[in-house]
Chains A and B, each alone.
Chain A
Amino acid sequence: MEAIQTKNLNKTFKDKVAVDGLNLTVHRGELYTLLGVNGAGKTTAIRMLTCLARPTSGEAKVCGYDVISEREKVKERIGVSPQETSVAPNLTVKENLRFFADLTLPKAEREKAVGEMIELFRLGEFEKKKAKLLSGGWQRQLSIAMALIGKPQVLFLDEPTLGLDVIARRRLWEVVQSLKGKMTILLTTHYMEEAEVLSDRVGVLARGKLYTEGTVEEIETRTNSNSLEEAFVAITKEAEQ
């Protein structure tokens, strides 16, 4: 069974086609990165896979469960870090983590999981601070930790390193790398280096369509490029025409 599988998945907003016949397969334990310019449809695809938006047509399965008819099963198995930082502002860092632990973990594991996340994301210094008092980048890291705390089988990270400084970004890469193999991760990013460092496979979305996918090397070879960035630009340009 694949971690994520979509068949001809479509999402249309009025007359705007946001996701267009997406056939995506992400294997268990794999880290798959979706690349695409602004408005390519990355977030919309993630929203459908995380039961937040209803597909206009087509089929999507997460951990073998349909995102519409078996959405409760899907929700139990996923963690989502949305594109926007989203934390409970008047709760402390620790309470925010505990809140998500309470929603997603059996009682006996909660306290420990909170400690692990504080350690993993180095939030110890701020654990008793209200989330709204943290800097944007730290709120971001808390927001990601809240997605991870439930030990999901499939983790969705929509532009996780948005707004992070160089050091924090690299630290987050380390965190993500440490998770590789333990869970399936679907990531989106605008940083090519990030995709190169982290991904097992990369897919390029343009105008809602998946234009190409494969390992970074495969994509570079296919497009005769020296770097992923060059390849990405070439693919996107071609798609625009």
Chain B
Amino acid sequence: MKFYTFFRRNLKEIVRDPLSLIFCIGFPAILLIVFRIIFSSMGEKVYEATPQFRIDQLVPNMCLFGFTFLSLFVGMLLAKDRTTSFLARLRSTSLRPADFMLGYAVPMLPIALFQEIILLFIGLLFGLNLTANVFFMLLALLPCSVLFIACGVLIGLVLSDKSVGGVASILVNVAVFLSGMFFPVSAMSGGFVTFMKVLPYIHISQIAKTVLTGSGVIEFSVWGSVGILAIYTLALTALSVVVFAKKLRKDNF
């Protein structure tokens, strides 16, 4: 029950910050609309050559883009609570370590779900076919957000509230470029694609697209993608739990 109390506080804290709504939901939503308008005005040829801007790929990609901001906002909240000694004050209440960790991380899940639903809704307006697979895609994407949440918790634990913004925006850019969100990965080959495959981001696109259409964005088994993403997610989550637990025991959180 203490967890729920803390969960509610953190959810309110983020949702009531207009910036978090603008970035987590407004920004990806506007990009989605803008890309749709630009690319639907172009000829068939361009459209064929840029599958990543087709609506069935644009929606999951914008979800991924939106997820990167979850890192920013959970990181900011945690770092701010550390610098304002709000967290210190909570440490002298009977909240347990698990309450702290889940209390910061779990509120990001409903936000991620909300992002997905908004983007899906816009996607439907712009010609996405409403099939059962669309819902399965949303379900498949949701656990992918855990990677970004764990990452945000980690940033918020080790950085000051002033540096969280900078570091998180680097991560946003890395994720954007290395997820193949904006270029046609299927038409690419060579070292860069291999590099992208080593990182988790492209695998999120791979999973989403496979669930939606039955074929992926790269020549790669979808279960391989699930495996790689799971390893990253588990490793990052474990690391953030360890750092969190260690910090809770330290004098200066």
In the assembled complex, the CB of B104 is this many whole angstroms from the nearest CB of chain A, namely 13
* Complex interface: chain B residues within 8 A of A51 (CB): 91-92
Mask, A60-87, CB within 8 Å of B = 1, is: 0000000000001001101010101011
Which size class do A's interface residues fall under? 20 to 34
Contact B91 A99, beta carbon cutoff 8 Å: no
* Complex interface: chain A residues within 8 A of B84 (CB): 84, 86, 89
Contact B91 A52, beta carbon cutoff 8 Å: yes
In this complex, what residue of A is CB-closest to B10? A88
Contact A86 B86, beta carbon cutoff 8 Å: yes
Contact A82 B13, beta carbon cutoff 8 Å: no
Which size class do B's interface residues fall under? 20 to 34
* A6 proximal to B (CB < 8 A): no
In this complex, what residue of B is CB-closest to A71? B92
A103 to B84, CA, bound (A): 19
Known contacts A52-B88, A80-B89, A82-B88; A90 and B94 CB within 8 A of each other: no
In the assembled complex, the CB of A198 is this many whole angstroms from the nearest CB of chain B, namely 22
* B9 proximal to A (CB < 8 A): yes
A130 to B12, CA, bound (A): 11
A47 to B253, CA, bound (A): 12
A95 to B16, CA, bound (A): 13
Contact B93 A91, beta carbon cutoff 8 Å: no
* A33 proximal to B (CB < 8 A): no
Known contacts A52-B251, A88-B86, A90-B17; A80 and B92 CB within 8 A of each other: yes
Residue from B17, B85, B90 within 8 A of A84 (CB atoms): B85
Contact residues of B with A, CB < 8 Å?
2, 5-6, 9, 12-13, 16-17, 84-86, 88-95, 249, 251
Beyond known contacts A47-B251, A89-B84: 8 more, CB 8 A cutoff: A51-B91, A52-B251, A80-B89, A86-B88, A88-B13, A100-B93, A103-B2, A130-B16
